Amino acid sequence: NPDRDRAMTGTFQQGFAWGAATAAYQIEGAWDEDGKGASIWDTFSHHEGNIYGNHNGDIACDSYHKIYQDVELMKQLGLTHYRFSISWPRILPDGTSKTINQAGIDYYRELIDALLEANIKPMVTLYHWDLPQALQDIGGWENDMIVVYFNQYADVCFREFGDKVKLWITFNEPSEFIKEGYETGCLAPGLKHQGTSVYRVAHNVLLSHGTAWRTYDNKYRASQKGMVGICLVCNWAIPYSNSKEDVDATERFIMFMFGWFANPIFGSGDYPEAMKQQVMMKSREQGLTSSRLPDFNEEEKSLILGTMDFLGLNYYTTKRVRHLASPTYPASLDADQDLHCTYDDDWPTSGSTWLRPVPWGFRELLRWVKNKYNNPPIYITENGFSDPNLESEGYPNLDDICRSKYIRSHINELLKAYIMDDVDIRGYMTWSLTDNFEWCDGYSSKFGLYHVDFTDPSRPRTPKTSVKTYRQIVKDNGFL
Ligand code: PNW
């Protein structure tokens, strides 16, 4: 449908949030400075063979020492918002509120003040994957006690920064760090606990989220008047064929990726039916008497349901989904879904195998979320593109026309969702401000609007062409 891709002119509402997003471990560096404790990412990346080229985040973009340079980049873009994350062990070195590292608090206060001085509002993620190693040593998210520790940490952050931070995100992409951290082992802590752990961990993450939201609601909301949300990543998905099997598999795919967290927090108040049925069926096949997916008791359900002031939605790509029965063993989150994902060959490529730009999928996803979950307020908290591997053409290539195209086309679909579909969209944060430590890809994968030279000790930042593109859209509040 060629009409689908036609660009639209128009603007977003006054006060629309325009931002860029980052995460502590990916940019800060200073991994053991000024009293910071180790995180699971320090441990994981220091272990040979876990990361491309054995890269690590010891220095990264050195953003810990470059507050004012980074704020300058945001000013050049004309941003109204900046999404960053707090490193839990930088302020609570052993994970608990027994010891507070004042230098860590001071660092984030200085950053927040510098942002506000530049008229940029902070949006702060509490957990973007860098758990204190001390808490991993007692089981991390598999230990039910984590709910208490996360709540202590959230409470310290609300207390210390809540006078100036009005937009909070508890978790970034739980589906992602749980699957890759506890089952495939691709992300820290690198565990390969197949089949059951992911569901137990998700249960604890949901309880942690709900508890922290209630702490804000009970102790801080009246005086601080902020909002607390969660970031969920969701691909759009379309069936491989019109068969009922493929259509059902597509629905399952979205439920396992998004409904797993969305339904308990702002949907039915329980795990999705498709997920419950599927994991029960698979568990029975494996000779288990109960499902590997835990049940919520009523108390847990009511603790979690309704604990969301806004949805942070991360969108990158779309998949084509086909039903495919998986073998009974080994049990895994993937095998539980009985499906196979592909993409269409005519979807363009990027520097990441998993990322095929499909802008219209963005609008479809937004419309689906609106209808399925009763029109929640949505901030796009991540959307971005990795530079194709241009080594052969001489790196760095700062003329990132593909990123410009990605940004323009995705924001245009967002505009259609806002104007034509009445989706309640409050803002858009691009991933990412600068090139940074891209998890297991190290520095080989580049998502930044600004290039960073990681071979230079001063980590100079240079604008790519997409800076101009994004600055114009921000200035026009859309497309004039
Ligand atoms: C995000 N997907 O992860 C993370 O939040 C960032 O820290 C990361 O740097 C960025 O994407 C780029 O990789 C994703 O399934 C996880 O489409 C999964 C998906 C996309 C992004």
d(CA 230, CA 315): 14
Q: What is the mean pLDDT of the chain?
A: 97
Q: Which one is catalytic: 180, 300, 382, 438?
A: 382
| Residue 354: per-residue pLDDT | 97
Q: Is the pTM of this model over 0.90?
A: yes
The tens digit of pLDDT for each residue in 259-307 reads 999 999 999 999 999 999 999 999 999 999 999 999 999 999 999 999 9
- CA distances (Å), 24 to each of 41, 58, 165, in order? 11, 11, 17
391 given a catalytic annotation: no
Whether ipTM tops 0.90, in short, is yes
Place of tokens 């049940």: 295
- Give φ, ψ of 385 to 5 degrees: -140, 140
| Residue 146: per-residue pLDDT | 98
> Which strands form 339-342's sheet, in the order they lie side by side?
236-239, 318-323, 339-342
Ligand 1 centroid from CA 444, angstroms: 15
For the CA of 172, the nearest atom of ligand 1: 5
% of the chain exceeding 70 in pLDDT: 98
pLDDT band, very low/low/confident/very high, at 391 (cuts 50, 70, 90):
low
176 given a catalytic annotation: no
For the CA of 235, the nearest atom of ligand 1: 17
Ligand 1 centroid from CA 215, angstroms: 28
The H or E element containing residue 348 is none
d(CA 71, CA 429): 15
Ligand 1 centroid from CA 174, angstroms: 11
| Alpha helix segments (H runs only) across 255-337 | 260-266, 273-285, 298-304
Give yes or no for residue 17 having a pLDDT over 80.
yes
For the CA of 386, the nearest atom of ligand 1: 12
Of 127, 236, 253, 431, best ligand 1 pocket probe by most atoms within 8 Å of the beta carbon: 431
Protein residue with its CA nearest to atom 7 in ligand 1:
23
CB 347 within 8 A of CB 357: yes
Q: Which one is catalytic: 173, 176, 300, 413?
A: 173
% of the chain exceeding 90 in pLDDT: 97
Ligand 1 centroid from CA 474, angstroms: 23
Ligand 1 centroid from CA 37, angstroms: 25
Give yes or no for residue 393 having a pLDDT over 60.
no
Cβ neighbours around 98 below 10 Å, total: 9
Give yes or no for residue 351 having a pLDDT over 70.
yes
